[in-house]
Chains A and B, each alone.
Chain A
Amino acid sequence: MTWINDIVQGITLGGFYGLLACGLALMFGLMRIINLAHGDLAILGAYLVFLLLEHWHVSPFIGILPVLPVMLLLGYVLQRTLLERSLRSGLLVPLLTTFGLSIVIQNLLEQGFSPDVRSLGQNAGSIATSSWQITSKLSISTIGALTLGVAIVIFGLLQWFLSRTQAGRQMRATAQDPDTAELVGIDSRAVYAWATAIAVAIAAIAGMFLAIRSTFFPYAGPDNLIFAFEAVVIGGLGSSLWGALLGGILLGVAQTIGGQINPEYSILAGHLVFLLVLASPRGGLLTLGVGGLRRARAARGVTT
Chain B
Amino acid sequence: MSAAAAGPVGPVRGAVQRWTRVSAGFTTGFAGLIAAMALVPVALSGNAVQEMTTLLTFVLMAVMWNALAGYGGLVSVGLQAYIGLGAYATVWLANRGVSPYLAMVIATLFCGAVSLPLSFLVLRFRGAQFAIGTWVVAEALGIYVSFDSSLGAGTGTSLTQLDAYSQGSRQNYTYWLTLAMTVFFVGLLFVLLRSRLGSSLQAIRDDEEAAASVGVRVVAVKRILFVVAGLGCGAAGALTLANILFIEPTSIFSVNYSAYMIFMVLVGGLGTFEGPIIGAIIFYVIQNQFSSNGTWYLVALGATAIAFALFLPRGLWGELEARSGLRFMPLGYRLRAARASGEGGPPP
Q: Is B306's CB under 8 angstroms from A230's CB?
A: no
> B residues bordering A, Cβ < 8 Å?
69, 73-75, 121-122, 124-129, 131-133, 135-137, 139-140, 143-144, 147, 205-209, 255, 259, 262-263, 266-267, 270, 295-296, 298-299, 301-310, 313-314
B135 touching A229, Cβ below 8 Å: yes
A-B contact pairs, 28 of them (CB 8 A): A34-B128, A82-B310, A86-B309, A89-B309, A89-B313, A94-B309, A95-B75, A99-B302, A100-B303, A102-B302, A103-B298, A104-B303, A107-B302, A226-B132, A226-B255, A229-B128, A233-B128, A233-B132, A264-B147, A267-B143, A268-B144, A275-B140, A278-B125, A279-B121, A284-B129, A303-B205, A303-B207, A304-B73
Question: Which residue of B140, B255, B259, B308 contacts A271 across the interface (Cβ within 8 Å)?
Answer: B140
Q: How far is the CB of B291 from chain A (nearest CB, A)?
A: 13
Chain A residue contacts of B302, Cβ below 8 A: 99-104, 107
Query: Do A92 and B75 have beta carbons less than 8 Å apart?
Result: yes
Cβ distance B225 to chain A, nearest Cβ, rounded Å? 14
Report the separation of the CA atoms of residues A222 and B139 in the bound assembly, to the nearest whole angstrom.
13
Could you list 4 further interchain pairs (A-B, Cβ under 8 angstroms) beyond the known A89-B313, A103-B305, A230-B132?
A92-B75, A110-B295, A264-B147, A275-B136
Tell me the smallest distance from the CB of B28 to a CB of chain A, in Å: 33
Q: Are A92 and B266 in contact (CB under 8 A)?
A: yes
Decide: A97 near B305, CB < 8 A? Known: A86-B310, A304-B75.
Answer: yes
Q: Which residues of A contact B124 (CB under 8 A)?
A: 283
- Please indicate the chain A residues that have their CB under 8 angstroms from the CB of B135 in the complex: 226, 229
Interface residues of A in 265-304 (CB under 8 A from B): 267-268, 271-272, 274-275, 278-279, 283-284, 297, 302-304
Closest to B211 in A: A303
> Which residues of A come within 8 Å of B, CB atoms?
28, 32, 34, 36, 82, 85-86, 89-90, 92-97, 99-104, 106-108, 110-111, 222, 226, 229-230, 232-233, 237, 264, 267-268, 271-272, 274-275, 278-279, 283-284, 297, 302-304
Q: Which of B69, B298, B305 contacts A107 (CB 8 A)?
A: B298
Cβ B136 vs Cβ A230 within 8 A: yes
- A107 with B295: CB separation less than 8 A: yes
Point out the residue from B125, B255, B266, B270 that lies within 8 Å of A283, measured CB to CB. B125
Contact, CB under 8 Å: A103 / B299 = yes
* Residue numbers in A under 8 Å from B304 (CB-CB): 100
A267: which B residues are within 8 A, CB to CB?
139, 143
On whether the beta carbons of A278 and B147 are closer than 8 Å, the reply is no
A104 touches B306 (CB 8 A): yes
Complex Cα–Cα for A130 and B320 (A) = 62
Contact A222 B298 (CB under 8 A): no
B143 touching A271 by the CB < 8 A rule?
Answer: yes
Cα distance, A107 to B290, chains bound together (Å): 15
Smallest CB separation, A26 vs chain B (Å): 13
User: Within the assembled complex, what's the spacing in Å between the Cα atoms of A103 and B309?
Assistant: 14
Q: A89-B314, A103-B305, A111-B295 are in contact. Are A233 and B144 (CB under 8 A)?
A: no
